[in-house]
Amino acid sequence: MAKDEQLRGSTNAVSPEIVTATSFHTHPDLVGFSANDLTLDAPHFYTRWSNPTVAALEEKLAQLECGEAGLCFASGMAAISALFLTLLRSGDHLILSEVCYAGVAELAHDILPKFGIAVSAVDTGDPTNVAAAVRPETRLIHIETPANPILKLTDIAAVAAIARSCGARLSVDSTIATPIATRPLSLGADFVVHSLSKYLCGHGDAIGGGIVGSSAAMAEMRKEALIHHGGCMSPFAAWLILRGIETLEARMAIHERNAGVVARFLESHLKVEKTYWPGLSSHPQHELAKRQMSNFSGMVTFSVGNGIELARRVADAARTFSYAVSLGKTKSLVFYIPSDDIASSSYKMYPDSTARYKDWIGDGAFRVSVGLENPVRLVDELSAFLDKS
């Protein structure tokens, strides 16, 4: 019986119930006091180990990604930290997308080297760069596609082949794509990671992270990282994210439609220098997007000549948009990210990498998370701000 069905069993509720208990009645023949005694078929014992509501979400994630098992954490960063610190040891080597979520980049550049883990950040948009970065001690390749914030893509199948050839494992952060667009495991990845706070939740009211992979790998990660690092998910957050997943496919269709309207408007505006959305034929990797994504998602990135002035106007006067971080909510968000700042602080880029980043997006990127509002209102508000610049 599926875990979400088990949750409905006691009351016949249509939706999963929230089980907020921290401890569960059990038997000495079924569990031991130490997490080291945990087995795959162990019953719920303590919510930091497992919980019925969280388990229902883990099963749902595995189903969405066509994977064997899922594992949920308190945040997307908790999930990434669990992945890196379970798979990597002192002397190992990680290859990382040079452009990815800033928190992941900071973890890789600032924290992992303290544990003796070497990190190479490369432009994974070209798989030959990945192949060139491989070392005998390479154990993990981690890519993000589309990459936050500039929406550069990575060919998952091509990088998976490189990982297999060198005995490394491949993890894919597919937060922006969602399982509606891309299923990395089917393209050869070993793990797929999501910030569940974004599109899968969809309402901006819960933080969580998830990983899907083999049953054996998830069991190892539960025992080593979830239980001992302590980043367990709140059952209430799991319930909110389960609620969001019920409308994921419908929401992503609207996000994609609205993003297309906004992207085409921005692309045609004389004051906009660069516009990126995987669904635009002008996107340099549009053909890859068509092969790899069945939905182009709701993220649009653009640049203008004096970005900070436009950012101030939007922050002061926006009504339909909110000037705010994060993405994937029903409400549209916009945020300005200066290129020099993120290149030096989060990405620790060398001059050639910084030049490549700025060649793609200019002096700063406006990251737009296009929501579910009437797209005419979104375009009208953007137009008003741009026309005053």
Closest CA to 177 of 169, 168, 185, 167: 185
Helix axes 52-64, 235-245, angle to 10 degrees: 30
Q: Catalogue the E-assigned strands of 240-332.
A: 272-276, 299-304, 322-323
Residue 37's pLDDT band (cuts 50, 70, 90): low
Q: What are the structural domain ranges in the chain?
A: 3-245, 248-387
For residues 280 and 288, the answer to whether their CB atoms sit within 8 Å is: no
| Banded pLDDT at 23 (limits 50, 70, 90) | confident
Q: Which of 31-40, 42-51, 243-252 has the lowest mean pLDDT?
A: 31-40
Average pLDDT, the chain: 94
For the chain, how many residues are written? Answer: 389
Mean pLDDT of 248-277: 98
Sign of CA dihedral 108, 113, 116, 122: positive
d(CA 87, CA 79): 12
Tell me whether domains 3-245 and 248-387 share a fold: no
| In this structure, CATH architecture of domain 3-245 | 3-Layer(aba) Sandwich (3.40)
* Extended strands (E) in 184-247: 191-195, 209-213
- Strand, coil or helix: what is 27? coil
- DSSP class of residue 112 equals G
Query: What is the reported pLDDT for 8?
Result: 46
Q: Among candidates 131, 106, 127, 109, which has minimal Cα distance to 118? A: 109
Superfamily of domain 248-387: Aspartate Aminotransferase, domain 1 (3.90.1150.10)
Q: Over range 284-297, report the average pLDDT.
A: 98
Cβ-based neighbour number of residue 282 at 10 Å: 12
φ, ψ for residue 272 (rounded to 5)? -95, 125
